[in-house]
Every structure is written in structure tokens, then in C-alpha cells.
Amino acid sequence: MSEQFDVVALGEAMVEFNQAKSSEPLYRQGFGGDTSNAVIAASRQGARTAYLSRVGEDHFGRMLLDLWQAEGVDVSAVARDPQAPTGLYFVNHGPEGHAFSYLRAGSAASRMQPQTMDLSAAGRTRWLHVSGISQAISAGACDTVFAAIETARAAGGKVSFDPNLRLSLWPLARARATICATIAMTDLFLPSLDEAVALAGTDDVPAIFAWARAHGAHTVVLKAGSTGAWYAEQGAQPQLAAARAVQAVDATGAGDCFDGSLLARLAAGDALGDAVRYANAAAGLSTLGHGAVAPIPTAAQVRAALA
């Protein structure tokens, strides 16, 4: 494989409107989309990155292309769709935490098809990163995820998979079947604890790891928010990398920041435990500001926090 990238991600990016104050109808404009957040996080940690997607031939699509280019993410395989819009979402804050409202039905990214997407970058990267959200938004997008995985594996690259379970997008039975089929095709499985409980039917950490391994997972990193992250490679016992305490303002996208930061360090040659500790620090820093992308830290900021 002639590697050109460290991390290539595939999925749907969206423009975000994040409520500035819970008592006021004012919104900060930002950006989101799980795999887009992750690839930007990887880029800010110094990784060579590319994104595979579709955006609308509209103002919001141009904003996303400008964002990726400013972040050093290769966009040569992002298609522009004149017939479908770029997805949007709103974040509202209240006493129960933050609530999301999505305007993504029929979006340009949901119209991804393997035969019309340029997936060649998936065959020129150390890591391909995909998510369950991309599989849930449409059958065509789901097929595209599997085609990208096959492209990466055929070229000798590794695949990371965050199930990012969203039961507003698909029923649990279908989600579980698709996610379990995908686990067997990937090298790194990246669920959150809440997602793992829903998928595996247990909140016992060793049992969750056993469930993931039974479905073919090689390396598992279980994200547990402010607790930190559990991790284990094949055959090893799960270990906890504790998170540092932070005064979180907005946790939107923290798990995506974790994913991208982890992959950047793995691509750079770090051992799994070191990469998890680095990703913990990056994710914690990303909760100190509003929105999914703006507060993602740089490598220098993460190193300073670790020091």
C-alpha cells in the first residue's frame, strides 16, 4: 500500500446551530457530524487526513469545504450534490442536558452510493474511520461504509468503527445486526459505555469486552466519559485510563474528538495505552468550549495538559 494519509474518515458532516444561552433564542453557528469532527481532531493532532462524503451545492456545503481545507483535511473526494441539501442540526441546552434536533432527511450525504463515490483514499491510509450513524442514514450510505471498509482492508489498512448508536435513526434490532456485522470487519471498536450497554445488554465492563470479542473485535476502547476509557487488545484484560477532571461546558463531540486524537497517535506509532491517555486529555479539553469543532484542542494544547 502506498500510504498517503494517516486517517481517512467517511460519513455525513453537518452545520451546527448551538444555543448560546438556554434562556435565549440565540444560536452560535458551528460544525458537526461525528466522523467529520473526528477527522478534524486527527488533523489538529498532526495527522495527514482526508474526508469522504457528499455535501449540497449550497452555502452550507461551501462552508464545510472551507472548514476542511482550513483544517488541512483533503477534500478531493467530497462530492457536491446539486439536488440535495447539506444537513443541519440544532443543539438546545436545558436542565436535562443538551438536546439535538436534526434536519438531515434526504441530505446530500444520505445519497452516498458505492458506485458514485471516490473511495480510493480508503486504500491509501493507515486508518479508515467509519461510524454507525453513516450506516443508519440510508441504505446507500450503509453500503458505502462497507465498500470503504473492503477497500481499506484489501490495501492492508486498518479500520476503526464507532457505533455512535442513535435510536432516533434506526430501531435497536437493525442497529445491533448491522453493528455486529461491522465489528467483525474492523480492527478497532470504539463504543461509548451507554452504547455498549444497549448493544450488549449488560453494564459489566468485562462482559462488554467479552461480547465485543465474541463478535470479532480485535482491539476495544470503551469510552466512559468523565471516568475515562477502558481499553484492551486481543486476549488482554481491560484496563482503565482515568480521565482528568475538567469543568465541562459542552460535551458535544467529545467522543469524536477522542476517536480522532486516538487514531492520530496510533498512526504515529504510540502504544494503545499511551494513545488512550492522550485521547482522554484531548476529549476533556474539547468540553471546555461550545460546539463540536471550535474547542477541539491542538497537539500543543494536549501536550501541555498532559505535562
Indicate the angle between helix axes 272-286 and 299-306, nearest 10 degrees. Answer: 100
Instruction: Give me the mean pLDDT over the 199-227 stretch.
Output: 95
pLDDT, position 19: 86
pLDDT, position 282: 96
Instruction: Give me the mean pLDDT over the 24-40 stretch.
Output: 93
- Has residue 292 been placed in a domain? yes
Is-contact 141 109, C-beta < 8 A? yes
DSSP 121: G
Of all residues in the chain, the percent with pLDDT exceeding 90 is 80
- Has residue 231 been placed in a domain? yes
Local confidence band at 10 (pLDDT 50, 70, 90 cut-offs): very high
Cβ neighbors of 291 (< 8 A, separation 6 or more) are: 16, 18, 28, 30, 31, 32, 250, 252, 253
Q: Per-residue DSSP letters for 247-289?
A: --S--TTHHHHHHHHHHHHHHTT--HHHHHHHHHHHHHHHTTS
Q: Which residue has the higher pLDDT, 99 or 298?
A: 298
- Has residue 102 been placed in a domain? no
Number of domains comprising the chain = 1
Cβ neighbors of 94 (< 8 A, separation 6 or more) are: 22
Instruction: Give me the mean pLDDT over the 228-251 stretch.
Output: 87
- Has residue 283 been placed in a domain? yes
Instruction: Give me the mean pLDDT over the 132-150 stretch.
Output: 97
pLDDT at residue 147 above 80? yes
pLDDT, position 234: 86
Local confidence band at 2 (pLDDT 50, 70, 90 cut-offs): low
**Residues known to be catalytic:** 256
pLDDT, position 290: 81
- Has residue 26 been placed in a domain? no
CATH number at residue 203: 3.40.1190.20
Of all residues in the chain, the percent with pLDDT exceeding 70 is 99
Residue 93, classed as helix, strand or coil, is strand
Q: What is the pTM of this model?
A: 0.95
- Has residue 225 been placed in a domain? yes
Is-contact 282 257, C-beta < 8 A? yes
- Cell numbers at 232, concatenated: 484492551
Residue type, 81: D
Q: Which residue has the higher pLDDT, 249 or 289?
A: 289
Distance, CA of 255 to CA of 282 (rounded, Å):
10
- Has residue 184 been placed in a domain? yes
Which range of residues forms the domain containing residue 56? 5-12+33-84+109-306
pLDDT at residue 288 above 90? no
Distance, CA of 204 to CA of 194 (rounded, Å):
11
